Amino acid sequence: MREGGEMAGRSRVVVGISGASGAVLGVRVVERLAALGACEIHLVISAAGRRTLLHEMGEGALEHLGRLVHARHPDTAIGAAVASGSFRTQGMIVAPCSMHTLAAIAYTQSSTLLLRAADVHLKERRPLVLLTREAPLHLGHLRAMVAASELGAIICPPVPAWYLKPASRAEVECEIAARAVGLLGLPGGPREWGGLPEEEERGEGKEWREEGDPQDFLRF
């Protein structure tokens, strides 16, 4: 864990990891921010988030995160610096964001540090990016997403960018993390889409079947 006060000329970012599956997304977000070399990273992991992280990635993940962040705040430390609006940040990312955490944020609960920090970002009108992780969604989930969005949160489900043709799971994870970081207005966002090649856009070289079984299209 890095020591000292605020790093001169560097943006502060709060990262929360809650208890949804996909703890690796929080790790990738921290790695992305650390790679920028221009961020003071403050990490808050919920109790359920820690349990999921250990189950999905093992003890080494906590040690890895500890080496990358400036400070790791216990979720019970409701008086930590990140609980105050006077602690200026570039924004906050919750990755992954469970439906429990989403609902608590949407309805302004502040019973833990992660929730309080998220609420601070909303009241201070700073970016709050929620990588909401659940499927399928019932009406309660959808309403919570709408409520959080109306308060100013950015709902960003971790959906792969298949059009970039990722070659591995790691590429998918890193691209999702890059998208979240980019939503804070920081460098290191996702690869810019340059459009389809002209021949693909026009459909040249393709022979589309106009007759036969509609299921034939599934075989292309």
pTM: 0.87
Flag whether 192 is in a domain: yes
Is residue 215 one of the residues assigned to a domain?
Answer: no
Residue 57 placed within a domain: yes
Residue 6 lies in a domain: no
Degrees to nearest 5, angle at CA 196 with 192 and 201: 155
- Other CB atoms within 10 Å distance of the CB of residue 56: 13
> Is 97 part of a structural domain of the chain?
yes
Does a structural domain hold residue 212? no
Confidence of residue 201 (pLDDT cuts 50, 70, 90): low
pLDDT of residue 10: 77
Q: Residue 214: inside a domain, yes or no? A: no
Query: Would you say residue 181 lies in a domain?
Result: yes
**Enclosing domain of residue 84:** 11-205
pLDDT per residue as tens digits for the range 171-181: 999 999 999 99
pLDDT more than 90, % of the chain: 78
Could you tell me the end-to-end alpha-carbon distance of the chain, in angstroms, rounded to an integer?
51
In the chain, how many domains are there?
Answer: 1
Q: What is the CATH number of the domain that holds 176?
A: 3.40.50.1950
107 touches 113 (CB < 8 A): no
Higher-pLDDT residue of 202 and 159 is 159
My answer on whether omega of the bond before 136 falls inside 30° of 0, hence cis, is yes
pLDDT beyond 80 at 68: yes
